Every structure is written in structure tokens, then in C-alpha cells.
Chain A
């Protein structure tokens, strides 16, 4: 945290979101203190929990996490009443198709965005969630393209709270 940042803004929790969809890498980072994002993710999760944020778990994320871990543990640590589990249904599939078409129109490529990213973003889009939390640069870039704010766990909670920028993560976050 640089001194110049602390001069023009005091940390505030008002920027924390009320609803947040967690990407798989966040849950895995939280499980493993050796992971490069562990410290940041832990700080965010603890802050969001105390703020009363509602965590959304996509069935897609649950499937990815369940390949090694227990989703029951995730629900237990987030708090059962703080979690909303969401299935992927035909409405999401419809939106994913539109997002894919939009992506191809903007980027002119059919391979840059992975289908699963689009599926998860379409769920966040349908439910009008405030943010998707991830450390994945590809996902961050895709969220930006889809107009969905992201919480970038590559940026520490402290830096995020004092940054002048609104709720937008990734490489755009500048003090």
C-alpha cells in the first residue's frame, strides 16, 4: 500500500458488494495456504462475511471444486444462510449464447473465451449479481466485456478499499 494512495481516500467498506458469485479458483485458494492468492482471498472472504454479503455458488463451480474437495465444507465456512446455490438452467444457456455471440463480435475470435466462463458469467448476469470474485485474468477480461463488475483477488483488500476506482477489478484497478 503506497503512501500516495492513503492520502486521498480512507478505507471504506461501503464498496463491498451485497451479492458475490465466487469463482472456483477462489474456493481452491482459500483451501490452500500455499496458494499465491490465499492471503488476499482469506481477507476478502472474512471481510465479506462480516459485511453480510450473500455468496452465490454456481453448480458449475461446485462441480469443479467437488472434484477434489467437499462443497459441504465450503457451505460450512461461508455460513449456510450466507450462501445461495444456483443451478445452470435454460435461461442461463440462452444468455451464454448471446454472450458468446457478443464476444465473437467484439473480439472476432471463437476461441478466446472458454464456454464454462460464459456459463458462469451468464448466471451472474441473469441474477443481476453485484460482482463475480476471481483471480483469473481471462475471466476478469471476459467479465469486463460483459459489463459485470469483478472483485479481483490479485488486488489486496486494503488496496481495493482505498483505491479511487469503483467496483471493477483486473488491470483497470489503478489508484
Chain B
């Protein structure tokens, strides 16, 4: 979810004994200055150009709306969408929106104001004593098995490992046995199966990867469809209808 416009509405907090209004014509300088500073930092964090981004003020409270330039609009809240269903991925501590909300929490506490934030998913309400409650993502490392494609750029070491430059542009370090190290060829393409620890959010981050199996990607001779049919037809001619055969197997695998 990208952000087109964020609105911030600061009011005198009902928790405050002073109870003075905060409006466009009478606002504590500290609150206004800190809010603008927080917005400017958010713009920088998201790559927006300060000169091109807009800020507008509105009354009834101290209202500020922030509209990033095109570059700033590429920032997306960490929400994952699958089909038509969206779920919160949670924030990392250095996420720009998480940092912005945290700054607003400090402003609310220091200035004794309530701040509402609109325009980024669920509306947030901050008071001097109650933060917005954005949740930080709990990183959980889970054992997983992955298949990777790439070129080996290094093999060896006292504790043997290989470096694989993946087709995804990521350099993976993978532990191997001494036997595997002698079999693998540097600067050749491989498909490798590895076991390691990864996170739910980012399967490209792998720790303690170990090589399970590999295929050298230059040793399979390509065949024609006619040759494929010659080899496989005997295996499948009893099946009849492929769609029905597969559907029947999937139906029986459901419990």
C-alpha cells in the first residue's frame, strides 16, 4: 500500500489539565516545529524531494497534510497482499512510517497533545500517555529447504563452503562437505538444494545454509518433443484424461 497523502491532526489533549485549544491560529511552536521536522524526515527517509513535496495546513485543530512527490509515493507500507486479501507484515524498526509515528508519539508526550494520523491504512490515535501501538515484526528464523540457481564463484576454505551468485542477484554462502567441495566446479552454473534458516518475510535471507544436493546445469542433453513422447508415452497411455487423473489424485489427498 503506497501513501498519497497523510493527514495529522493535533488537538489539546483531554488528558491535559491545561485544556487549551490547539488551532491553526494558536499552536505551541514546539509542537508545530516538531511535526514539520518529523514530516521532513519522513520525506527524506522515503526518498521524496522536499521541494517537490507539499504540506498544507487546515484549521479546527493544528492540521497538516503531507503529499509526497512521485519518488516518495513509491514507499509502501509493509502490507502483503495475496489475491484480494491483505494482512499486516509488521514493521521493522527502521521503517520510515514506523519512525514517523514514533516521532509523533514523542511530540504528543512532550507537547501534551493528541494526534490523529490518517491516510495510511487504519487511522491512528495518539495521546500523551497512549502510543499508536504499531507492532514491530518479530523475526522468526525457521528451518527451510530451498532450491537456488546460480554460478559458483568460490569453492574451498578450512570449513568448506561455496559462494553461489544466485540468478536473483544475491550472493549465497553455503556450507559443503569436503567431498562436495572436490566435486563442484567454480564458474559453472548449478541448481542447488540447500537447508538453512530463513524468515517468513524474506526467504532470500538464509543463515547456516548447508548443501543437500546439486545439479550441474550443463550435463542434461536437450531432447525434442517427439523424443520426449517416445520415452514417456508408455508411462501415461493408461491414464486416459490427464486433467481427470490429476484431479482424482488431488481430491483423494484432501482430508
Of residues 54 to 107 in A, which have CB atoms within 8 Å of B's CB atoms?
59, 64, 67-70, 72-77, 79-81, 84-87, 89-91, 94-95, 98-99, 101-102, 105-106
A89 with B232: CB separation less than 8 A? no
B142 CB–A CB distance under 8 Å: yes
Query: Measured between alpha carbons, how far is A116 from B218 in the docked complex, in Å?
Result: 32
B82 with A146: CB separation less than 8 A? yes
B84 CB–A CB distance under 8 Å: yes
Could you mark each residue 174-204 of chain B with 1 if its beta carbon is under 8 Å from any beta carbon of chain A, else 0?
A: 0000000000000001010100001010010
Q: Which of A45, A76, A136 is close to B247, meaning CB atoms less than 8 Å apart?
A: A136
A156 CB–B CB distance under 8 Å: no
Chain B interface category by residue count? 35 or more
B228 with A30: CB separation less than 8 A? yes
A6 CB–B CB distance under 8 Å: no
Query: Measured between alpha carbons, how far is A95 from B227 in the docked complex, in Å?
Result: 38
Query: Measured between alpha carbons, how far is A111 from B241 in the docked complex, in Å?
Result: 23
Nearest-Cβ distance from residue A158 to partner chain B, whole angstroms: 18
Instruction: Please judge, given known A-B contacts A31-B236, A77-B223, A145-B83, whether A36 and B241 are in contact too, CB under 8 Å.
Output: yes
A155 CB–B CB distance under 8 Å: no
Please give me the residue from chain B that is nearest to A75 by CB atom. B220
Instruction: Please judge, given known A-B contacts A25-B246, A70-B231, A91-B203, whether A114 and B254 are in contact too, CB under 8 Å.
Output: yes
Nearest-Cβ distance from residue B189 to partner chain A, whole angstroms: 8
Q: Which of B82, B149, B223, B228 is close to A102, meaning CB atoms less than 8 Å apart?
A: B82
B145 with A64: CB separation less than 8 A? no
Instruction: Please judge, given known A-B contacts A70-B231, A85-B147, A116-B253, whether A28 and B222 are in contact too, CB under 8 Å.
Output: no
Could you mark each residue 216-255 of chain B with 1 if its beta carbon is under 8 Å from any beta carbon of chain A, else 0?
A: 0110111111011101110111011111011101110110
Name the residue in B82, B189, B236, B247 with the highest tally of chain A Cβ atoms < 10 Å from its Cβ. B82
Instruction: Please judge, given known A-B contacts A31-B235, A32-B233, A147-B83, whether A23 and B246 are in contact too, CB under 8 Å.
Output: yes
A68 with B222: CB separation less than 8 A? no
Query: Measured between alpha carbons, how far is A1 from B225 in the docked complex, in Å?
Result: 25
B146 CB–A CB distance under 8 Å: yes
A69 with B235: CB separation less than 8 A? yes
Q: Which residues of A contact B220 (CB under 8 A)?
A: 72, 75-76, 80
Chain A interface category by residue count? 35 or more
B225 with A46: CB separation less than 8 A? yes
Nearest-Cβ distance from residue B164 to partner chain A, whole angstroms: 15
Interface SS of B by simple majority:
mixed
Query: Measured between alpha carbons, how far is A37 from B147 in the docked complex, in Å?
Result: 30
Query: Measured between alpha carbons, how far is A99 from B147 in the docked complex, in Å?
Result: 23
A117 CB–B CB distance under 8 Å: yes
Q: Which residues of B contact A89 (CB under 8 A)?
A: 144-146, 198, 203
Nearest-Cβ distance from residue A9 to partner chain B, whole angstroms: 28
A115 with B253: CB separation less than 8 A? yes
Q: Which residues of A contact B236 (CB under 8 A)?
A: 28, 31-32, 35, 68-69
Nearest-Cβ distance from residue B20 to partner chain A, whole angstroms: 47
Query: Measured between alpha carbons, how far is A79 from B237 in the docked complex, in Å?
Result: 24
A138 CB–B CB distance under 8 Å: yes
Query: Measured between alpha carbons, how far is A102 from B85 in the docked complex, in Å?
Result: 6
Instruction: Please judge, given known A-B contacts A32-B233, A90-B200, A135-B242, whether A98 and B254 are in contact too, CB under 8 Å.
Output: no
Chain A contact residues, CB within 8 Å of chain B: 23-26, 28-37, 42, 45-46, 59, 64, 67-70, 72-77, 79-81, 84-87, 89-91, 94-95, 98-99, 101-102, 105-106, 111, 114-117, 122, 125-126, 135-138, 145-147
Q: List 23 A-B contacts (CB under 8 A).
A: A23-B246, A28-B239, A30-B225, A31-B233, A31-B235, A32-B232, A34-B237, A35-B236, A35-B241, A59-B147, A69-B235, A70-B232, A73-B223, A76-B222, A76-B228, A77-B225, A80-B217, A91-B203, A98-B87, A102-B85, A111-B254, A116-B254, A117-B250
Chain B contact residues, CB within 8 Å of chain A: 82-85, 87, 142, 144-147, 149, 189, 191, 193, 198, 200, 203, 217-218, 220-225, 227-229, 231-233, 235-237, 239-243, 245-247, 249-251, 253-254
